[in-house]
Chain A
Amino acid sequence: MSEEAVKVRLNQQQLELVDHTVERGEASDREALFRRALREFWQAQSEASTKDRR
């Protein structure tokens, strides 16, 4: 894991959405949720660009 963290600016309402999503069991904590989002977003982007190239 990188020592240097990415700093994401969020207001209290955005954090509420993040925390609700964690509470629903989508990830173990805020950090895990953002990492999941990044990986799945990246995967979707990769698949879309592969499809576009066909």
Chain B
Amino acid sequence: MSAPRRVREEIVIEPGTGKGLPLRRGQVLRIEQVAGRQCADFNCFNLHDYKEYLHTGRTRHMHGLHPTRGDFLWSAPPRERPMMAILEDTCGTNDALYPRCSAFLFEYHYGLAVHTNCHDIQAEAQREFGLTPDDVHDSLNFFMHTGVDANGRPFIADNRARPGDYVELLALIDVLAVPNVCGADVMATSNFELKPLRLVVSDASEADWAGIPSMPRYRNQRTPADFKIKEIKADRALRRDPSYTPQFVNVPVAVSEVDIRLDADEREMLARLVATGRFGGTDGEVLRHVFFSWWIGKFMHGPKHFRSS
């Protein structure tokens, strides 16, 4: 049996607040309900390079709208590596769709000019580490119960988190993890009441690591060493670089025609596919559509994001 985790820190964050927690690789952050029905917004940065941060969009791409146990929290392009792993999720209603609430949102929707909101709470918590309000990024929203209706519109449903429900996040690199008590008390996000959340930092056990698949390193998971400009721009104004010459990749894109000879049966198959009108207008367009549809279904790695017409 694996040794239990050693708890390093335990705090409670109150309504209207959040906390930046430096975590070393191999440490686990538990975000736990106290009274229940409370959304926790979340930001995450590489502890040694804040320009690498959690990308909710890439996480959504890889794991869908509701990341849960076994999924990763990915950093933004061009870094794109797992920063944290979701070890446990006892509620199962996390949201990767909605942006953080903001001061503007409460003023615009409700006429409330001064109001608790996740952007400002995150900014204030991140200020402890020298970050500015511009550094707050799109949040991942734990315990936020959301969906998309038949018309493609997102919606917020009643929060289902019970007292004691928790998510556990294993740091796969050194990170600054920043959870906050969502400040939205006039939306359904936390059932119209702000409640505290418990945060527990502990060392991962061997059992925690056992469930984490090894990830191959890809050439395009880049670092600043790969950048043409390696320094962080430190002033606000944008000016043209007179020495700039574009170096786009694979440009010009050259198109050529490939001849594919078919036997009679294959000709007939293609003709019938063309006749459906679903795959293109010409034999060549349809055969190209068929080829890539087939390739995606057979060989593409990861979520396919494709439904053939």
Contacts and interface: CB of A to CB of B under 8 A. Distances in A.
Interface of A: 1-3, 5-15, 17-18, 21, 30-31, 33-35, 37-42, 44-45
A2 B267 contact: yes
A33 to B, nearest CB: 8
A21 B267 contact: no
A21 to B, nearest CB: 7
13 contacts: A6-B287, A7-B259, A8-B287, A10-B288, A14-B292, A15-B256, A15-B258, A21-B295, A31-B259, A38-B287, A39-B266, A40-B294, A42-B273
Given A10-B288, A30-B260, A41-B273, 11 more contacts: A2-B264, A2-B267, A5-B261, A8-B257, A11-B255, A12-B253, A12-B254, A30-B258, A40-B298, A41-B294, A42-B273
Given A6-B270, A8-B284, A13-B250, A35 B258 contact: no
A15 B101 CA distance: 45
Chain A at the B interface: SS class: helix
Please tell me the size bucket of the interface on B. Answer: 20 to 34
Q: Give the residue among B257, B264, B291 with the most A Cβ atoms within 10 A.
A: B291
Contacts of A6: 259-262, 270, 283-284, 287
Nearest to B249: A13
Contacts of A18: 258, 291
B259 A5 contact: yes
Contacts of A8: 257-260, 284, 287-288, 291
B299 interface: yes
A33 B260 CA distance: 10
B9 interface: no
B253 A35 contact: no
A23 to B, nearest CB: 13
A17 B291 CA distance: 11
Given A13-B250, A38-B262, A21 B299 contact: yes
B250 A12 contact: yes
B269 interface: yes
B255 A1 contact: no
B266 to A, nearest CB: 6
A7 B293 contact: no
B299 A9 contact: no
Contacts of B12: none
